Amino acid sequence: MHFLGKLIAAAAVVVLTGATYAPPATETLSVTISGAGKARANVPCTWQANVTGGTGNYTLAWSGGINGAPFSNDQYAATTPASGIFYITVTATDLNGETDTATKPVMISATAGPCLV
């Protein structure tokens, strides 16, 4: 009877060697863009990437029809063109390689306010 008690206790211990484990993300990676959706022509504007979920330490890649540059890793700055609808896109990649992409249309006109959400 005493031996059986030790056997049960030993069976409850699992030992893994040579295994790797990455805990699953608590949420799916998601990125959105906040900032101007309408802007007057030829004014400076900035847009912000908002990342949630995934596994921390994100990298962001910005692109789009408005000729600008990342202001910081999570902000994009550009002087708006003369007129039209342009799109700003950001792709977020998390530590595990999961990606999500967001695109924001920006309407440019001579009569719009400086940078309006």
For residue 100, give every residue at least 6 positions away whose Cβ sits within 8 Å of its Cβ, in sequence order, or none.
Answer: 28, 29, 30, 31, 54, 91, 92
Whole-prediction pTM: 0.71
pLDDT of residue 14: 42
In this prediction, the residues of the chain whose per-residue pLDDT falls under 50 are 1-16, 19, 21, 25
pLDDT of residue 94: 95
pLDDT of residue 110: 83
pLDDT of residue 40: 87
pLDDT of residue 10: 41
Residue 88: how many CB atoms within 10 A of its CB?
23
pLDDT of residue 73: 74
pLDDT of residue 80: 82
